[in-house]
A and B are shown apart, each in its own frame.
Chain A
Amino acid sequence: MTDKQDKKLHGTYAEFDAVDTLLAACARVRDAGYTKTDAFTPFPVHGIDKALGIKPTRLPWIALICGATGTCIAVAMQVWMNTINYPYIISGKPFFSMPAFIPVSFELTILLASFGAFFGMLVLNGLPKFSNPIFTDPRFDRATDDKFFLYIDAADDRYDRAGVTKFLEELGGGYTQDVYDDDSSTSSPKAIWVVLGSVIFLSMIPLLLVARMRVTTSSQPRFHVFFDMDFSPAKDAQMTSSLFADGRAMRTDVPGTVAIGQFDEDLDFYTGIDFDALTRREPVRAAHLVRAIADEESDDAETAATDESIETADEPTDAAAEPEAAEPEVTGAPEVEDDTPWLEKNPLPITMAVLERGRMQFDIYCATCHGNNGRGAGLVHRRAQRILAGAWVQPSSLHQDTLYADVYPDGKMFSTISNGIRKMAGYSSQINARDRWAVVAYVRALQASQNATLDDLPVDKRDEIRKLQAEVKQRLEEQAEAERLKAEQAAAEKAEAEAEAEAEAANGEAQAAESSD
């Protein structure tokens, strides 16, 4: 015992044989006013909190606050990212879509609440703690087996060693023991350090390798973790394939077949050119075109397309080149009469269904540049302006006189859509011919809509429109008035400020003059 005298005393514990005696003892200890106490049992004992007078834990509050924080963070983050900072249309949903935000908010709430509960539990319990002096007594090991222990800490205000020991014995503690500082060696077993060291060392290796690779060059090809994602087995255009005798991955139509929906139409339908008229007037050119188109459809399409000579120049380049020359104000080239006999009339019957189809295709393919109303201010154009894209050419407004049916036949419009024009790319590979004609029809409708007079409308709609017009006009006038007032006020303020500044400057000068005197 003597060597224990100079060691720090931590507290005293007593051993009990049964839960009931322990619980009774706990209650007595609590009633005696001890607060820094603890009980150790081999299994959870309900009611021991009450018996020891342990206050309900604050952990639920920590978890609640952390959970609520998680909700707020998640909602704020998503609103900021999706709605404010990077508004991006996903699945056609509004930028602010609460339903889409809920799963993430839910997950983050749970995550932070469980973090709060877990780490809060550690902190409130003073964990992690690798050793406790109470473990020094081998007899205490039975706390995990068949004995129950009650411990009173020396830090308790009422603690006095002899008194506590006696008290615990009175309560039925068969065996009491003081807890002194643990005098076993504080150095950890070497094996731990070896294992820890090796783990750290080994885990450095990949990092070091990566670091080295970042600063050196290598003649080796890149390492592909997911080979088939980097190199998709699917073939791209113009690639070779060992699968077919001719070595080409792209397959041509089976001879003698026609793709679905492309059978019943004639050449005019696919080019927008009146071939009868062309043949009558320029048989050579017509023959060229027919051959070029036939070639394009046959196996020799590639050669036909790449051959520069006029003999094989296909209709698309031809048609696309002509209007270019016909737009002197853009290109500055000498005016050349576009004498292609374009189809004047849309070969499709103009029905509501066709127009609807045309509107759909237009809104998908054209509106991004030309705008839904065709005035040339679509999203792409607006963005190009915002980022000051240098090479950008504004998409034409489709409501110019030069694009109306009387001077710009339907066939020509069809050709523009199919093959593109100057800066604009062709859409024949995205939109099939029937739909392109539908787009033409819709563009015509769009043009009509922008030039309609009240008399073009059904009688019963006219009043409604008149009312709307009046309303809009009034609103515009109000706006203009408000703006004018604002401008006036601003001007007045500015004038005032200037006058003041002048006065001040004059003042300053005067002072400077004075001081220099």
Chain B
Amino acid sequence: MSEHTHKTKPADDPSFRLPASLGNLAIPLAIGGAVLLVVGVLIGLMAGPGEGIGPQRFTMSAYLVAFTYCFSISLGCLFFVLIQHLCRAGWSVVVRRVAEILMLAIPALAILFLPILFASWSSQGVLYAWGYEGYAESHGVPGEIWTEKVRYLSSDWFTVRSIVYLVLLSGLAVYYFKLSRRQDETGEVTLTERMQARSGPAVMVFSLVTTFAAFDWLMSLAPMWFSTMFGVYIFAGSILAAHCAIAMVTYLLQAKGAIREEVTVEHYHDLGKFMFGFVTFWTYISFSQFLLIWYGNIPEETHWFYTRLQGPWESISYGLIFFHWLFPFLGLLSRHVRRRPTLVFAWAIYLLLMHFIDIYWIVMPEVGPSLGGAGGVLATLLLTSGMIGLYAGGILWYTRVNQVRVLAVRDPRLPESLAFENI
């Protein structure tokens, strides 16, 4: 339909604010999350599998799973915002603020990264096996190779890099959030132009940081294993999770009365398309990574997948094929599904769950051949739900306290987005 048929509401319309029913959840969620997190850590330390540092290692790895899960969602949202500016996208303006709010969690998550950083300093290899001094000997890695490896995988250097990653990502998130919010007040078009102009370099920085962070934080769990595709693999999962999170949060906001008229079936349709597309992309990337290693059949590469084809990990590996790809692929294939917000919402939740399994499957097999027994599984689940509670509570709290609008009300492309139609 033509653009002038839509009347934009005034910028201070209450439906652009976080609904009170959601805002009130902030504190309970955050506190509940923190409690669960602590309980999860305690259970992990007490009932985690293994001898000696085994339980610590298990708990820290589970913590890494929880952290990575939340972080990857925010990371994906940051990319979502950057890419919308990079392609001067019109359709997405009505949901972009949701992504902006989610990405703003990155600086906060940087604090939750501290335990991981501390663990990386342990000479026992509490989280990262490369920190353990006897690693080369106990794993039969030739001395000269190990000397070269630890040049990169040393705790000092790791710390420096992690800080650089977090600073750069936080910087991008804060910068884009601030400018976008300033536009809420002033409506300056130049702000959009500035954000667009900087999105190109920002995407480059983002890709490099994501790739290296994936290498350092996740791939280095198996110090001798390497896959140049690993960064893209993590990115694929993140961007998928981001689209799901945006769809889910938007749906919840609408259910509570916010941005009801602004976000239409058309926007869900597009989010659904991207969810479908990134399900396929994730599969494409993860299969490509597998195929090359499977074909090359070199022990130093195959061991990563070999580990994941033993014991309970095997069923999870096959489960990922069916439930992270085939099932959602077929489910989201039809336009009729993608044009029903409730179904899109349901699939978003489902895929966010699968994203957790994916991260879990990336991290935990490095700890040991078992899932960690009932105590271990419980600890993992508690840790993750705690982290999610903290994450969601924190985001809601910030949004409420700072009166952040859930819509970029004065974005110059808002009318275009409001009038957006697919067909």
Contact = CB atoms under 8 A, between A and B. Distances in A.
A390 interface: no
B287 A49 contact: no
Contacts of B297: 91-92
B291 A20 contact: no
Contact of B294 (A19, A50, A64, A99): A99
Contact of B290 (A19, A50, A91, A99): A99
Nearest to B284: A106
Interface string A6-42: 0000000000000110010000000000000000000
A102 interface: yes
B422 A46 contact: yes
A47 B422 CA distance: 8
Contacts of A64: 333
Contacts of B7: none
B421 A46 contact: yes
B151 interface: no
Q: State which size class the interface on B falls in.
A: 10 to 19
A91 B422 contact: no
B1 A100 contact: no
A508 interface: no
Contacts of B290: 99
B287 A47 contact: no
Nearest to B294: A99
B423 A46 contact: yes
A366 B263 CA distance: 73
Interface in A312-346: none
Interface in A48-98: 49-50, 56, 60, 64, 91-93
Interface range on chain A: under 10, 10 to 19, 20 to 34, or 35 or more? 10 to 19
Contacts of B422: 46
Interface in B288-314: 290-291, 294-295, 297
B160 to A, nearest CB: 39
Given A46-B422, A92-B297, A19 B2 contact: yes
A349 interface: no
Nearest to A92: B297
B1 A47 contact: yes
A174 interface: no
A103 interface: yes
B295 A20 contact: no
A102 B423 contact: no
Contacts of A20: 2
Nearest to B266: A46
Interface in B164-217: none
B423 A49 contact: yes
B139 interface: no
Nearest to A20: B2
A60 to B, nearest CB: 7
Nearest to A54: B423
Listed residue (B291, B422, B423) with the most chain A CB atoms within 10 angstroms of its CB: B423
Contacts of B335: 56, 60
Contact of A99 (B1, B2, B291, B333): B291
Given A49-B423, A60-B335, A103 B1 contact: no
Contacts of A47: 1, 421, 423
B423 A103 contact: no
Interface in B18-42: none
B88 to A, nearest CB: 18
Interface in A280-308: none
Interface string A375-402: 0000000000000000000000000000
Interface in B39-61: none
B287 A102 contact: yes
Contact of A46 (B1, B291, B294, B333): B1
A103 B421 CA distance: 35
B136 to A, nearest CB: 23
Nearest to B288: A103
A91 B335 CA distance: 42
Contacts of B421: 46-47
B104 to A, nearest CB: 33
Nearest to B4: A20
A100 B2 contact: no
A146 to B, nearest CB: 15
Interface string B304-341: 00000000000000000000000000000101000000
Interface string A91-118: 1110000011011000000000000000
B321 to A, nearest CB: 10
A18 to B, nearest CB: 9
B423 A100 contact: no
B146 to A, nearest CB: 25
Nearest to B295: A91
Nearest to B287: A102
B331 to A, nearest CB: 14
Contacts of B423: 46-47, 49-50
A172 to B, nearest CB: 15
Nearest to B335: A60
A100 B295 contact: yes
Contacts of B294: 99
Nearest to A90: B295
Contacts of A91: 295, 297
Nearest to A97: B294
A46 B6 CA distance: 15
A93 B2 CA distance: 59
A20 B5 CA distance: 10
A427 to B, nearest CB: 27
Contacts of A60: 335
Given A46-B421, A91-B297, A103 B291 contact: yes
A91 B291 CA distance: 13
A102 to B, nearest CB: 7
B227 to A, nearest CB: 16
A19 B333 CA distance: 32
Contacts of A19: 2
A102 B291 contact: yes
Contacts of B291: 99-100, 102-103
Nearest to B336: A56
A74 to B, nearest CB: 15
Contacts of B295: 91, 93, 99-100
Contacts of B1: 23, 46-47
Interface string A174-190: 00000000000000000
Interface in B371-407: none
A47 B287 CA distance: 39
A64 B287 CA distance: 22
A215 B335 CA distance: 59
A515 to B, nearest CB: 72
Contacts of A49: 423
A100 B291 CA distance: 8
Interface string B1-20: 11000000000000000000
Nearest to B333: A64
A92 B296 CA distance: 10
18 contacts: A19-B2, A20-B2, A23-B1, A46-B1, A46-B421, A46-B423, A47-B421, A49-B423, A91-B295, A91-B297, A92-B297, A93-B295, A99-B287, A99-B291, A99-B294, A100-B295, A102-B287, A103-B291
8 A-B pairs with the lowest CB-CB distances in the bound complex, closest first: A46-B421, A99-B294, A47-B1, A99-B291, A47-B421, A19-B2, A49-B423, A20-B2
Given A19-B2, A49-B423, 9 more contacts: A20-B2, A46-B1, A47-B1, A47-B421, A47-B423, A93-B295, A99-B287, A99-B290, A99-B291
Interface of A: 19-20, 23, 46-47, 49-50, 56, 60, 64, 91-93, 99-100, 102-103
